[in-house]
Amino acid sequence: MRIVLDTNAYSDWRRQGTWNELISQATQVMMPTMVLGELHGGFQLGLAGRENQAKLARFLGLDPVTARAFHDETLPQEGAKSAHFCSMCGPQFCSMKITEDVRKYAAEQGVKEEEALKAGMEEKAKEFVRKGAKVYAKA
């Protein structure tokens, strides 16, 4: 059986989730370059970035330099080499970037991340209603 992992599947595998059995039975495990770039970008934001990068490299049989090259391949412009997001979603919709922003906001406000998330969701809900509560809005 051949399988292709996305970011969620890899994360599930790391947490000893349901993907463990599938991965152990697979004859070939593949991971798109975009996913590698997304994971690498997330590792840059996390507290255990080097450790997570090393675990991914061992999982894939890659060294960290090659993993970094995959990230850079998804963002070929020189200025994007230090980007904390991959090219799949970009900075406006990148969950890794949003997580970084929430952590920064929580630190600035002196609150826990969970409290910052709750406050942010409440604020966005009010903004959504103020703007007419339409899912599809003109930019």
- Closest alpha carbon to 34 in 64, 1, 72, 2: 72
Residue type, 134: K
Mean pLDDT of 60-77: 64
pTM score, whole prediction: 0.43
Residue 66: per-residue pLDDT: 63
Cα distances from 133 to residues 92, 100, 125, 139, in angstroms, run 20, 27, 9, 14
Task: Write out the two tokens for 2.
Answer: 């051949």
Task: Round to whole Å and give the CA distance between 111 and 78.
Answer: 36
- Supply the DSSP string of 61-85, one letter for each residue: T--HHHHHHHHHHHS-SGGGGG-SS
Task: Round to whole Å and give the CA distance between 31 and 83.
Answer: 21
31, 5 contact by CB (below 8 A): yes
- Closest alpha carbon to 33 in 63, 61, 62, 69: 69
Angle at which helices 113-130 and 95-109 cross, to 10°: 110
CA angle in degrees (0–180, nearest 5) for 107-109-113:
55
Mean pLDDT of 53-59: 75
Mean pLDDT of 62-89: 63
Q: Which of the four pLDDT bands, split at 50, 70 and 90, describes residue 81?
A: low
Positive or negative torsion for Cα 123, 126, 128, 131: negative
